[in-house]
């Protein structure tokens, strides 16, 4: 799995503390746990159903400065949530994007990106089992699909706490949304808008400033 802008912005956007035990669902190469470890967390477990991706994440964790805090787990999160007794302060995910017949051609990409493998309901049920009562669940989704997700989240007892609407090019509508949910009622939802590129397709000043700690150039 290539490193994508969605995951990088999510990893930067999520707030953490040094006391946080974190779980990443569908970690891929392990990018999110690595970013959160750099920000300063207690530990991160990373569940990944695809064996090759799991092995890549394991190697990336081993080679990092935070290897003692990071653990990759080769398992379906539905099974993991059924036997895991550990509860997490923060759960993050860059979950499947595709619906219906919109299935990618490559099998492995399909496994990691299609909701036939992990439905939103399955994801939310698993998160609820694994999350501490005061915990947070953060993820990124396409703007259109976020509406369907939030309806299911309400059905499972989650409330939107804050969001970042991500605009690909100045003047366009948001095409991605970072969302953080909790299981307690929220009085005021914090909302912000973030623009990635200028009209000439160069990165905005805000984008460069936001991600300066994670990009070499």
- What value does the mean pLDDT take over residues 139-168? 95
Task: Quick: pLDDT tens for 184-215.
Answer: 888 899 999 999 999 999 999 999 999 998 88
Q: Is residue 57 part of a domain?
A: yes
The reply to whether 128 falls in a domain is yes
CB contact at 8 A, 167 and 193: yes
Does a structural domain hold residue 88?
A: yes
- Give the full edge-to-edge strand order of the sheet including 21-25: 70-73, 43-47, 21-25, 88-93, 131-142, 176-182, 159-169, 190-197
Q: Which domain holds residue 170?
A: 5-210
116: domain CATH number is 3.40.50.150
Is this model's pTM higher than 0.85 or not?
A: yes
Backbone angle region of 151, left / alpha / beta, with phi > 0 → left and psi within -120 to 50 → alpha: alpha
- Domain assignment present for residue 215? The answer is no
**159-194 exposure pattern, b = at least 16 Cβ within 10 A, e = fewer:** ebbbbbbbbeeeeeebebbbbbbbbeeeeeeeeeeb
Q: Would you say residue 181 lies in a domain?
A: yes
pLDDT at 186: 87
Number of independent structural domains in the chain: 1
Residue 10 within a domain: yes
* CA dist., res. 127 & res. 91, Å (int): 7
User: What per-residue confidence (pLDDT) applies to 144?
Assistant: 92
| 30 domain residue, yes or no | yes
Biggest alpha carbon distance in the chain? 51
Contacts of 134 (CB under 8 A, 6+ apart): 89, 182, 184
Question: Is residue 15 domain-resident?
Answer: yes
Average the pLDDT over 129-154 and give the result.
Answer: 95
pLDDT value for 107: 44
């Amino acid at each position: 799995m290539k490193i994508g802008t969605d995951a990088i912005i999510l990893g930067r956007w999520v707030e953490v503390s040094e006391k946080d035990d974190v779980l990443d669902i569908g970690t891929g190469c392990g990018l999110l746990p690595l970013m959160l470890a750099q920000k300063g967390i207690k530990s991160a477990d990373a569940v990944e159903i695809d064996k090759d991706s799991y092995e890549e994440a394991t190697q990336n964790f081993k080679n990092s400065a935070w290897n003692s805090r990071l653990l990759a787990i080769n398992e379906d999160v539905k099974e993991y949530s059924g036997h895991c007794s550990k509860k997490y302060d923060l759960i993050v995910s860059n979950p499947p994007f595709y619906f219906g017949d919109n299935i990618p051609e490559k099998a492995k990409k399909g496994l990691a990106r299609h909701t036939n493998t992990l439905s939103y309901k399955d994801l939310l049920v698993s998160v609820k089992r694994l999350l501490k009562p005061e915990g947070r669940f953060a993820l990124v989704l396409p703007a259109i699909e976020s509406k369907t997700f939030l309806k299911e989240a309400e059905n499972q007892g989650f409330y939107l706490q804050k969001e970042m609407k991500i605009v690909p090019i100045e003047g366009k509508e948001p095409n991605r949304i970072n969302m953080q949910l909790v299981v307690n009622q929220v009085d005021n939802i914090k909302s912000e808008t973030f623009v990635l590129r200028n009209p000439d397709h160069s990165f905005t000043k805000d984008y460069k400033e936001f991600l300066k700690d994670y990009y070499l150039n």
